[in-house]
Structure 1
Amino acid sequence: MTKRTARVAGLMLGAALLAMPAGSRAQAPAPQKVLRVAPHADLKTLDPVFASIVITRMHGLMIYETLFAWDSKLQPQPQMVDSFSTAPDGLSWSFRLRPGQKFHDGQKVRSQDVIASLKRWMARDTVGGKTAEYVDALEAVDEDNFTIRLKRPMAMLPFALGSAVGQIPVIMRESEAASDPMKPVTEVIGSGPFRFNRAEWRSGARVVYDRNPDYVPRAEPADGLAGGRVVKVDRVEWIIMPDAATAAAALQTGEIDIWEQPSQDLVPVIGRSRDVKVERYSNLSNQAMLRPNHLHPPFNDPRARLALAYATQQSDFLAAGYGDEQWWRTCESYFVCGSPNGTEAGSAPYAKPDLDKARQLLAASGYKGERLVLNSTYDIAPIGRMAEVAAGQLKQVGFNVDLQFADWGTVTTRQQNRGTVAEGGWNLFVTTASGATMQSPVTNIGTNMTCGGKSWAGWPCDEEAERLRGAVVDAADDTARAQATDALHRRLAEVQPYRVLGQYDQPYARRSNVTGMLQAPVMLFWNLEKN
């Protein structure tokens, strides 16, 4: 890395730090310990119940909490809940909130806040929507106790209430939670270990979180998202550095402490520094995917979606996105190879491309060369590179692909547009999701095929797939659940809610004086020490 590159990095970091008003700088004492992080993307949407994108989920976990939390083995543990019990018939669950919990404005966390928050989450999320199918009533007994009554037993309820994937079930104040779930909340008042510093937020430059001095962590040791969320720094600053060389230089000189998603081609470079450690923070590989829009031609026809599968070569996408094969592997499982649900049942035909078959299916779908918009970004470089591979491979079989690049915030905003291309909509996008998100039929946002436009962007609809997904949740034991998962996977292979592009491991890089990183679905910033 050249001195000039390092100097540019320093100038960019300095500009970000000076972006706040001079008056604010004069009034605010310099925190003792500031953890500076280069995140994978800029923060645009503040509401983790509205948006399922990872950067918003990371933001949500800084400032909000959930009733339960997944530990490092993805098992649910009480978090905001102090105690709970289940009726013998499994149709009623009673919960008591942990005492002393307060929102950042000083208001007490109440059962009424919980009820409103859960209703909002059930209207937005894959796991929440499935939970809603079982819920008969949510009842506040008093400010500290509430009850969930079910239509039929759901043993996975604590797992669902602790979900750390998709749109997460954070507990908001009743005033925000009771708002229209189809519109994002803009007032950010949580009860978690950090407070969002809106005054110092500079879009495109910096996001600031201050330690919440009133937060009382659980007594248990930190384990994944569960246990005591003990904050050991005074402030966390996300410094937005879209240029990989700039981030690498800043990490090596100590101007940032963590690079959340280092560029794969720079991992060998930064890994040679004795002051930098390159590690993984998740036990499960992540998944890459090509998502079609099921609302409009040609991908409202399953034959066009099958054409995607026959036209694409996973290894080409993964090599372009993630470089060295040590970081990726091909896998046809919607539920992640290596996970407890990692079946590839029904997917064998798509392990190798069949371009003639793709062309036949595309013609049978009625597609006649209409322009198709593939929406992508280079803010997250692997996604941009894989989008270029997608455009090239799809053109080989007759898709007329218009590859359009924008910043990540614009891409994710456009993903919510259900209109045609002429109305500002889209046909395809490449994205990735954590292994924790995709490893279960309950949490996998892409295989939720609930009809009525209630599923994730792309809005697939298949009643048979949903019946089979319900059978997984209702299974009485592990053997029955595995059989139900196989049956579901065979159906998914037939209808292709999205094209699986394989899976990869995303390392992170830290300065050697930063310790305490937890194994979790996303990067967490409690338990971290900076010496």
Structure 2
Amino acid sequence: MTRRHAGWTSILLATVLALFMALSPVNAAEPKSGGILRFATIGEPPSLDIQVVASDLVSTIAQHIFETLFTFDSSFDVVPLLAEDYTITENGTLYTIKLRQGVLFHNGKEMTSADVVASLNRWKDVSSRGKIAGDYITSITAPDKYTVRLKLKSPFSPLLSFLAFQNTAAAIYPKEIAETAGVNPPKEYIGTGPYVFKEWRPDVYIRVTKNPNYAARTEAPNGFGGNRTGYVDEIRFIPVPEVATRIAGVQSGEYDFADQISTDQYARLKNDKKIQTIIVKPYGFGELIFNKTKGLMSNVKMRQAALAALDMGEIMQAAYGTPDFYDLEGSFYPKGTIWYSSVGTSNYNQKDIAKAKRLMQEAGYKGETFRVLTSMQYDYLYKMSLVAADQWEKAGFKVELQVVDWATLVQRRANPDQYDVFVTSHGFVPDPSLITFLSSQYAGWWADATKESVLNRFNSADVKTRSGVWGELQNLIYEQVPAIKTGDFFNLSIASPKFQGYVPSVWPALWTVWLDR
């Protein structure tokens, strides 16, 4: 079988089309080159190792520096980026990928198959998503300078989506960096992307500059695909943890763009002529991810009790203010997509304190501390934490709210001794296999034989069969409660009037942006 572009449009149907209809360029006009773009971020990332760190902030910044073999266009079709072409043969177990020639790393070295092999080998060893794919991959070889072959032990339907996704991404590093980094962040951030890493001044900014030797694709920009040549000379990612400071900075002209703005500010901001308001809808869903490997929540009845106690309406209203910015939906995918399923969702939004108390008693709960790990840097997550903690206390849990900065949360969630649940969110993804907590390697560690069996069937089946198997997986999520979905939410960003050409997305990509100075 030969495939040149993996079609996901039919899978995602109307919802994704509606999503990207909303993602039209902001105030599109004739672009101008030059200038410094100042992006006020929610904080500092722990590193820019995009292969390892499953953080939206890392993906947002690092995607400007590093690139993958494939990416997604505006319809969420998988399209080549560093790849030129590919074929899938031997009943879906052999992927032969032809690489683009003349692509230069930021150090001036040409990208070859040796770099790709080394990078993918590291990715499958250190990335939570890479480890899932790695369970199917038996070898990664380079028959020549511009060809890579991935041999699988059995078909893995979402492989191209895994190679295209920019969170815990299969990013291509120079061979010498990929081979020496191991599990640690690379000592140098060298990629092939449209911007070059220049400087990291802690608590001041991360600075990237336009790549003068960027090997752009010839196709027009399309989603994350096509030509990525940037317009601005420099981007500064400036950590600004306080929402009010981010808002004031854009209003004053100190910043050009700010993400993750409290939605309860929308009514006030939408009529402010000093800024633009930008809404991404759908955007993602709130998550409460349990530590299942040790401690209080390793007991499934305790997790079921925690789920039973929650009133999602109160949680989502506190986090997002108006229903214009959230939806109480138990399915992990919206209606209108092939992945929509109502199976298991009767356990969503139970608001049943009596049931929670009964399950806690059956679990033998004796008042042990329930440690909730959260951060104020994502304002909506912190508000979600406060309401959930209050509801859990009413059910009889002894809650300890641990409030840290986001970089610390990302580090702590990797240590099973330090928390019982952490509060986070998950961006909209084109394939359920990309949902992070499904991996037994991801923080929280859902390692269960039944789950692995169903997940293996899901990952090896054809599209029509996979939709039914996904219903089984969703039902298992509501039975075993590895994580709790609080509801769907939409994102609010703001920008200065001179900020032009932006195509809103879960991970803001700024290579289309220019400044109308």
TM-score, with normalisation over the residues of structure 1? 0.87
Verify the 8 A CA contact 1:68 1:161 in the aligned structure 2.
yes
1-structure distance, mates of 2:457, 2:259: 37
Matched with 1:476 is 462
Alpha-carbon distance in structure 1 between the residues aligned to 2:251 and 2:504: 24
Work out the CA distance in 2 between the residues paired with 1:351 and 1:468.
25
Residue 241 of structure 1 is matched in structure 2 by 240
Task: Determine if contact 1:387/1:429 at 8 Å carries over to the other structure.
Answer: no
Aligned mates of 2:463, 2:152 — CA distance in 1: 20
The code of the aligned residue for 1:503 comes to: D
Preserved contact between residue 138 and residue 152 of structure 2 (Cα < 8 Å)? yes
Check 1:406–1:389 CA distance in 2 against 1; reply closer, same or farther (3 A cut).
Answer: same
Q: Does 1:491 align with 2:493?
A: no
Partners of 2:337 and 2:54 in 1: CA distance: 22
SS of equivalent to 2:330: coil
Counterpart among 420, 426, 446 of residue 427 in structure 1: 420
- Confirm or deny that 1:256 pairs with 2:255: yes
C-alpha distance 180-344 of structure 1, shift in aligned 2 (>3 A): farther
Distance 2:71 2:463 in 1: 23
Does the CA contact (< 8 Å) of 2:138 and 2:151 recur in 1? yes
* Contact 1:164-1:521 within 8 A present in 2 as well: no
The answer (yes or no) to whether the contact 1:126–1:443 under 8 Å persists in 2 is no
Residues 1:466 and 2:457 are matched in the alignment: no
Residue number in structure 2 paired with 1:69? 71
8 Å CA contact 1:248–1:266 kept in 2: the answer is no
| Counterparts in 2 of 1:182 and 1:361: CA distance versus 1, 3 Å | farther
Q: Is this contact kept in 2: 1:62–1:194, CA < 8 A?
A: yes
AA matched with 1:483: G
1:70-219 superposed matches below 5 A = 70-87=72-89, 89-165=91-167, 167-179=168-180, 181-198=182-199, 201-219=200-218
Counterpart residue number, 1:517? 502
1:339 Cα shift?
A: 4.5
Paired letter, 1:487: E
431, 445, 452: which one pairs with 2:436? 445
- Residue 299 of structure 1 aligns to a residue whose secondary structure is helix
Q: Which runs of 5+ in 2 are unaligned?
A: 1-32
Task: Give the deviation of 1:338 after TM superposition.
Answer: 5.7
Shift, 1:205, TM fit: 2.1
The equivalent of 1:323 in structure 2 is 321
Secondary structure of 2:433's partner?
A: coil
Rounded to whole Å, the distance in 2 between the matches of 1:217 and 1:386 is 42
Q: Report how many residues are paired.
A: 484
| Mapped partners of 2:231, 2:514: distance in 1 | 6
**Residue identity opposite 1:440 in structure 2:** D
> Does residue 405 in structure 1 map to residue 390 in structure 2?
no
Structure 1 letter corresponding to 2:124: M
Residues of 2 paired with 1:231 and 1:507: CA distance? 24
Q: Residues 43 and 207 of structure 1 are in contact (CA less than 8 Å); yes or no, is this contact kept in structure 2? A: no
Query: Equivalent residue for 2:276?
Result: 277
Alpha-carbon separation, structure 2, partners of 1:240 and 1:477: 42
Query: Could you tell me which amino acid in structure 2 is paired with residue 300 of structure 1?
Result: S
Partner in structure 1 of residue 226 of structure 2: 227
Aligned counterparts of 1:204 and 1:107: Cα–Cα separation in 2: 32
For residues 415 and 274 of structure 1, do their structure 2 counterparts lie closer, same or farther at Cα, with a shift above 3 Å needed? same
Q: How many angstroms apart in 2 are the aligned matches of 1:317 and 1:205?
A: 33
Q: Is the 8 A contact 2:154 2:460 kept in 1?
A: no
Q: Distance in 1 between matches of 2:163 and 2:358?
A: 45
8 Å Cα contact 1:207/1:237 also seen in 2: yes
Say what the alpha-carbon RMSD is for the aligned residues: 1.9
Work out whether residues 209 and 235 of structure 1, in 8 Å CA contact, stay in contact via their aligned partners in 2: yes
Which whole-Å CA distance do the structure 2 matches of 1:337 and 1:499 have between them? Answer: 19
- 1:85-136 Cα shifts (integer Å, max 9, x gaps): 2325333222121111111111121211111111221123343223223222
**Deviation of residue 218 (structure 1)?**
0.3
Please state whether the residue corresponding to 1:280 is helix, strand or coil. Answer: strand
Where 1:43 maps in the other structure, the secondary structure is coil
Q: Which moved more, 1:332-341 or 1:394-403?
A: 332-341
Q: Distance in 2 between matches of 1:267 and 1:186?
A: 41
Q: TM-score, normalised by structure 2?
A: 0.89
| 1:135-154 CA distance string (max 9 Å, x none) | 22110112221111122233
Higher relative CO (Cα under 8 Å, sequence separation at least 6) belongs to 2
**Equivalent residue runs for 1:277-356 within 5 Å:** 277-281=276-280, 283-335=281-333, 339-356=337-354
Which residue is equivalent to 2:412? 414
Partner of 2:363: 365
Structure 1 equivalent of residue 28 of structure 2:
none
Find the counterpart in structure 1 of residue 443 from structure 2.
457
Where 1:74 maps in the other structure, the secondary structure is: coil
Once the two structures are TM-superposed, the CA of residue 40 in structure 1 deviates from its matched residue by: 2.6
The aligned counterpart of 2:25 is none
Find the aligned partners of 1:258 and 1:216 in 2 and give their Cα distance. 27
Distance in 2 (CA, whole Å) between partners of 1:337 and 1:367 is 38
Q: What is residue 10 of structure 1 aligned with on the other side?
A: none
Q: Secondary structure, in 3 states, of the residue corresponding to 2:287?
A: strand
The answer to whether the 8 A contact 2:70-2:83 is kept is: yes
State the shift of 1:347 in Å: 2.1
**Residues in 2 aligned to 1:320 and 1:175: alpha-carbon distance in whole angstroms:** 48
Query: Secondary structure of the equivalent of 1:123?
Result: helix
Q: Cα offset for 1:180?
A: 5.6
Runs of 4 or more, structure 1, over 6 Å off, are none
Aligned-pair CA distance for 1:302? 1.0
CA distance in 2, matches of 1:494, 1:36: 45
Percent identity, aligned pairs only, is 25
